[in-house]
Structure 1
């Protein structure tokens, strides 16, 4: 598993894929349905497209906390627990993605990745891996290293959704896939994951995300 710099490099490569794919899409392809119910390709571009600008320009002000920063695993376990944000806010998130996709032209959607993403990557490279950032919805802070893990995972998972909707091969940079697999495996309960992965038990601990 790579460190902070390697994760930032992987995120840069994945966002470049989003930009390249978007630049070549026809209007019909932008409107293709995906395996995320109610989300077309444009909605996925809008949803993931919120990350580059948020990373480049996080909320101003010092992070004030006496609590230890939470990890990506802790955040995602909390979000995906019964009654967690991933369940309670699913409809709101979907509505926001569809509305944003409708409000932007295609150049605007691509611009998240062609324009905002390079600024975000440059900002990440200037930050320390252990510097703190609030994580929305978690009422806690995390480190930029852990935040990048979540953003990279979201960008990879939804890129695969886009490629599936476009009926294209799941070609994603290898380093990004590897980092995403590591994070998802960490979210799962360790013993049941190992037992299921090695064929010792028939019940799978997956999925770990909504």
Structure 2
């Protein structure tokens, strides 16, 4: 990536209507997954070492509630900043801590209740706000970069629950519902960003319902689509050095 591109705040590549459709479907799939978990599933460890399934779901609920209300978003941001430390770690820690006393069933029920409100609030975000740069720089691939609030809302706020849905499915053995119409579109957006960040030609083939083929020259790579995304997020074992944020 050139320094000029690195200095420009990152904006969503997805069409807004597509981004909101992905958000609505992803929230629905997370809600269905949480509702399907057994009592034993909630205490299973995940690939995020500090979190079991219940803690991960508490974070996901906190993020959904943050998306659903500007007032709640501002409250969480201020509370996380007051804790000191790395902001994103303090924010996710706050979300888990504040929901430490919630029973699993209550987390699942509240997530299903707040998800439609989160989609509605994300849809209402005005274009002038979406174009604004986030106050804090984000560290990706060892470099600080700027994001717009639109990139956070349209892209990251959907990638995050999608990735955690893969975490919970792996932790519990629950089926990971995948379709080309939803997961395939999300993965395609990730791949296109990865190509931009990679900056070198490669032929990529991803297998599974969310897969596809990209690139016309360079070395050939083949992975399962979900495992490819997990590797880009720092999970898994695929030999990929270029990170994409989730």
Query: Same fold by TM-score, threshold 0.5 exceeded?
Result: yes
What is the deviation of 1:59?
4.2
Deviations 1:67-105 (A, max 9, x none): xxxxxxxxxxxxxxxxxxxx9567646644553452212
What is the deviation of 1:159?
0.6
What is the deviation of 1:47?
1.3
What is the deviation of 1:11?
1.0
What is the number of residues matched between the two proteins? 183
**Structure 1 gap ranges (5+):** 61-86
What is the deviation of 1:173?
4.7
1:56 maps to 2:68: yes
Please show how residues 1-210 of structure 1 align to structure 2 within 5 Å. 2-59=14-71, 88=86, 92=90, 95-96=93-94, 98-129=96-127, 131-132=129-130, 135=134, 137-138=136-137, 142-144=148-150, 146-174=152-180, 175-183=182-190, 185-187=192-194, 189-192=197-200, 194-195=201-202, 197=204, 200=219, 204-209=240-245
* TM-score normalised by length of structure 1: 0.69
User: Per chain length, whose mean CA-contact separation is higher, i.e. which structure has more relative contact order (CA < 8 Å, sep 6+)?
Assistant: 1
What is the deviation of 1:205?
3.3
What is the deviation of 1:184?
5.3
| Distance change >3 Å, CA 114–CA 2, structure 1 → 2 | same
Could you say what secondary structure the match of 1:165 adopts? helix
Q: How far apart, in 1, do the equivalents of 2:61 and 2:18 lie? A: 21
- Superposed CA RMSD in Å reads 3.5
Q: How far apart, in 1, do the equivalents of 2:110 and 2:188 lie? A: 25
